[in-house]
Each structure stands twice: as C-alpha cells, then as structure tokens.
Structure 1
Amino acid sequence: MYEEQLKVIAELAAEWRERLMSISWFMSALNEDIARQANAEDGCTGRFWEGRFKSQALLDEKALATCLAYVDLNPIRAQMADTPELSEFTSAKERIVTAQKALDSQEPHQPKSLFPFVGYPRQDMPAGLPFRLQDYLELVDWTGRQIRDDKRGNINNSIPPILERLNIDAEHWVYNTQHFESQFKSLVGTAISIRAKFQKFGYQRTPGLGLAELLT
C-alpha cells in the first residue's frame, strides 16, 4: 500500500512539474480566473479572450523590437488612444511618464518594474534590452504615425536610427508591427535566425521561412 501511494505521488509530482514549466497551462489557468471575474462583473458567460493563446519565440533583435512595438501600439490600432503617452496599461506609457519626471537628466530614468533599455550591444553589456530608450520611444511614435490613417499627411519622413542599425526596411517594419501575430508562427526572427533554430531542433519542415526571407 505504501509503495502504491509513493507511486501515485511521484506521478502527480511529475505532472505538476511539467505544468509549472508550461506557458500554455499557465495561460489557461489565468484565462479561467479572469473570465470568471469579468463574466461576474458583466453578467455574461463565455471566454475572456477571443482567440487561443499562441506562443512565439523571439530569436533576434529585430523580432524583439517588432514585438515590443506591436504590443505598445495595440491601443492606437484599436483607436483607444491617440498617442503612446496616452495609451493606458502599456509599458511605453509607463516608460514615458517615468522619463518625464527627470527631464534635466542626460539619461532618462526608467521604471524599476520594467526590464531596462541598456543601449547598443557591446562587451560586458548589462542585462536589459539592446536598444537606447530614446531610440525605442522615437520608433514607437514614428510607427504610430504610419498606422493612423487620418495622419498620413503629417508623417515625419525621417527614419528612426534603430531601423537603420538593425537593417530593417521601413515599409516592412510598419507591416510587421500591424500583423505580428498573424504573419509569424512559433518562431519570429530573420531568415538566418529561423533556419539556425530549425537545424538545432532537427526540423525537416520550415514553416514561416519564406515570409521571413521576404520581410527581413
């Protein structure tokens, strides 16, 4: 009897370890709790999010910058805000508000609760996002102007330096930041990054590689 109980406990422990490492299981548990609270508040039933959770691996700096801008510009695409600094519940707004508190500083202050921007890639680089905060905020603002149809006549034609450093075509960048989830599957990055990851995993098929070669 004792051995049977240990066997059951070992099986349960293995299952829970697997779940604790699963982003999909975490999102499922999170979704259920939020859906229950939202449905109770609104007096309705159903899922909280319309689509299923999708996990995408960001393989390089281009993919990281695209994903960051895609998320920070969600309120503007949804016409819930006119500018990044007015976009509620985004990291871009929190970074802007924090930076504005120390305008006399040479380097803008950054929120302690968010992963910091640490500047250009270099030796002995601290942990953080491999861009300058100033460049990223300029990039988000510039991209938001391209997305807003009613502002096409007032677009600033200057290209943010970060696009030039990452060798990203401006037209492809704008397209990617509007269709990030639908255009990329499980892996996001340049064609070289995606091909290297497929080889590492031993995959025979290379879904999304053709699109990556076209857009990057």
Structure 2
Amino acid sequence: MTATIAESLSSARQRLSQALQDAGRNVDDALLLAVSKTKPADMLREAYEHGQRNFGENYVQEAIDKQHRLGDLDDIVWHFIGPLQSNKTREVASHFDWVHSVDREKIARRLSEQRPEEMGPLNICLQVNISSEASKSGVSLDKLDELARQVAALPHLRLRGLMAIPAPADNPRQQREPFAHLRQTFVHLRELLPDAPLDTLSMGMSADMEAAVFEGATMVRLGTAIFGARD
C-alpha cells in the first residue's frame, strides 16, 4: 500500500528529528525542504495542508506553472535548486525566494540586476563541487573565495551559505567526508566574510540525510522520501 503525502511527510520529519537528536543538535536546527520537481501542484498543495512551506524546484517553467496554480497559498517559500542557465535568470529572479545553485559570477550578477526591487534581496547559496566531479555543476574550492566576495557585494542578493551534492557513497562514514569538508569550508567563509549573513548549509538528500545532519546541515532536500519516486 502506497503511503499518503501526509504519512510520508510525517515520516520524513520524524527521520530528520531523530537524526538531529542523534547528532546532539536541537530538533529545529535544520529545515526540511521538500523537493517537488516533476510532481503535480496537487501533491504540493497536499503537503502544504500538512504544514510544509518550503519547496524546491529544478525546472523553471514547471515551477512557474505550479506557482500560478498555488497562487492562493501566499506563504510558500520557493527554492530553485537546479542548474541555472543565463537565459533563465530573469524568471528565477522574479519567481523565487532562494537559489541554491549559483556557481558563476555572471549568473549572480544577472540575478541581482533582474531581481524586482519590491521583492527584497534574493537568498543565495553557492553550489560547491565538493567531490571534484567533472560531470557536476558547482564552483571549485579554489575559486570559491573569489566568487563569495563577488556575490556578497551584489546589491540585490543575500549570500546565505553553501550547497553541495557529493558523489554517492556506500556507507555513512564515506558519506560524511564531503559534508565535513563543506562544513569546514563554510566556517572558513564566515571568517572571510564576517559581515555576510552566512547561516545555511544546504546538504543532504533522501539517501544521505543523516550523514549531512551529523556534519551540520541546516537545510536538507528530500524528494523521494516525501513524494515517492520521481516521475
């Protein structure tokens, strides 16, 4: 029997709470971001009705269509978490509250220039290619400091932290290594930019959430665990 959205969401929350307790952290130290790409608006509405407010989307037009369908729910927080091309920055700048996948100064500059004044600053996480995978998006560690300084200086962006999608690993110890590296990088960045509101480590998904929580995740991105297998 397939679990309902309410049951899956409750299970995901319990799993996150248990991971935080096991890590010796407060139960409200990490936010659950429901990754809703490819899922219909009705499923997001059902999750909303059971208390979920933060939703992550990968595809711009699909997300905007859902936003129109859910326009009566004015306290949803929309996160763009997918690769971002230059020709999509205007739509993202005007339809989202967060972007987790900034890895180039050009993209950041366009988001700042195209952010509507009345919406306030756009929250930004820099995507780091923490496992140095050729096939993955993300800024390399040796270029991160420069990019962080550039983004922190842009007037309509608020640099909040880092995001990463490490290479898959088979056991919790291996899973924790790249997350620990990202956490150490985050600590360094806070020292480098003491005036930036750096408070977010967006890391951990359905398969490796516990490892991410042990290494300090403040936002975990769960899709399959809430909505089932991707369509």
Does TM-score exceed 0.5, indicating one fold? no
Give the structure with higher Rg (CA).
Answer: 1
Please give the TM-score of this superposition, normalised by the length of structure 1: 0.27
When you count helix as a share of all residues, which structure comes out higher? 1
